[in-house]
Amino acid sequence: MFAFIWWMIIGLVAGALARFLVPGRQPMGMLMTMILGMIGSLVGGFISSLLFRYDPMQPTIHAAGLIMSTVGAVVILLLYVAFTRPRVV
């Protein structure tokens, strides 16, 4: 249970950092920011396992986890902005 709460806190921080780093307006509340960071954490973990060749089934908590969570959240947020932005016809 504590691990899930910790994941939610890291997700909120990573989502907030991603929203700060990506220029433009992203209309979403705190819950969506947390979900963005949690999904970004999964994406960042996947990217990290590809780059550093570690077993993702052996998770550990470290500073690189927050960094890769933020990187993953930035990737997800850029995709979100690209697909939800109004199209000029």
**Nearest partner of 61 among 22, 7, 23, judged by Cα:** 7
pLDDT in tens, the chain (89 residues): 787 888 888 889 999 999 999 988 888 889 999 999 999 888 887 887 778 776 656 666 555 678 888 999 999 999 988 888 777 77
20-27: which pairs have CB atoms within 8 A and are 24 or more residues apart? 21/70, 21/74, 22/74, 22/77, 22/78, 22/81, 24/81, 26/77, 26/80, 26/81
In a domain, 32, yes or no: yes
In a domain, 89, yes or no: no
In a domain, 22, yes or no: yes
| Number of structural domains the chain divides into | 1
- pTM, whole model, 2 decimals? 0.81
In a domain, 58, yes or no: yes
